[in-house]
Amino acid sequence: MLIPSVKKLIYRKDIFVERTLPAKGTISAKVGDAVEPFTKLGISRVSYGEMYIDSKFKPAKITDSYFYSGKPLGKLGLKAVTAPFDGYIHQIDTKWVFKQEERDFWLLSGVWGAIADVSKDKAVLIKTQVVDVHFIISTNIEVQGELIVFPNPSEELEMHYLENFSKGVYGKILYIGSFVDKRMVERAAELGVSGIIAGGTDVSSFNYVKKQGIFMGLLTGFGHMKVSKDVFTFLNNISNRYVFAHGENNILRVPVTEDAGRVTNMTPFLEVYKGMPVLVLQKPYFGWYGNVEAVNESSVIIKFEEKTEPVEIGIPNILAVE
């Protein structure tokens, strides 16, 4: 008996990843150099923050003066304005701008591979290999950054973990759990995350992050559907790794070493076998993952972790998940 196959994790080689400096600087890498994720490719000077102040602002010192974080910049009416970071203040047209002091930005490889090309003072092209994690749907946004995986997929603990990690999630991509609700995505947006990965969500939450310009990738789709144990284990094992989310292609691209698992079979249909992991599409078990116990002429017997007794599911209401 053949059933459709959904492959969530696919190993790909000879992938090219571009790493770019945020401003013109110096590229030190050379074509042919072998690199690892923390290999330094180049450096530039970058200001990470700007604060715009109303034209009625009265500065405490002359234009272009340097201020330390927490020190008074001047007054806006009767209200004192303090520096949120170390930097300089200057005037553009009628507005005042307080700009953070420039700091060194080191461009890191983020992947294992070899330098294929160099764009002088700006970018590097790296030939590498990855595992692509495929989403059912995602917002059409491109982001990259450190992946943080919540250590327990239980819904009840999600907000606890988000608050626990709150001081270190700015600009990062979070795997939150099997389902993420509106309260969670709003809090994640407040904390400045760049991406959210989950099993499922509701349409309102998905539209909210889309409007906020935040990446969201759903592994199982809309609603309460569990994430495959194999997929969660893979994500959990690469927590804190630098990853690349490509919303247009519905994938999370995870850098791996050359000798990582080579999952290349793209067969759309697979022969059912005992122990095969499957996704059930029949109520009341819609969205549940289980393993094949036995195969009948027009149905299969599925064993779920959550149930003691196996359940009979009619064909074609299952998908093979690899």
- CATH for 48-101 is 2.40.50
**pLDDT digits 0-9 by tens, 107-151:** 999 999 999 999 988 999 999 999 999 998 899 999 999 999 887
For 36, 150, 272, the CA distances from 269, given in Å and listed in that order, are 37, 33, 9
pTM for the predicted model, two decimal places: 0.70
**pLDDT digits 0-9 by tens, 26-46:** 999 999 999 999 999 999 998
CATH topology agreement for domains 48-101 and 136-249: no
Is the CATH number of domain 272-321 3.40.50.150? no
CA atoms of 283 and 286, how far apart (whole Å): 5
> What residue segments make up the domains of the chain, in order of their start?
48-101, 136-249, 272-321
Measured in whole angstroms, the distance separating CA 250 from the mean position of its chain's CA atoms is: 12
What pLDDT sits at residue 4?
67
**pLDDT digits 0-9 by tens, 270-298:** 788 888 888 888 888 877 778 888 888 88
CATH topology of domain 136-249: Glucose Oxidase; domain 1 (3.50.30)
- Is-contact 240 254, C-beta < 8 A? no
Sequence-distant (6+) residues with CB within 8 A of 190 are: none
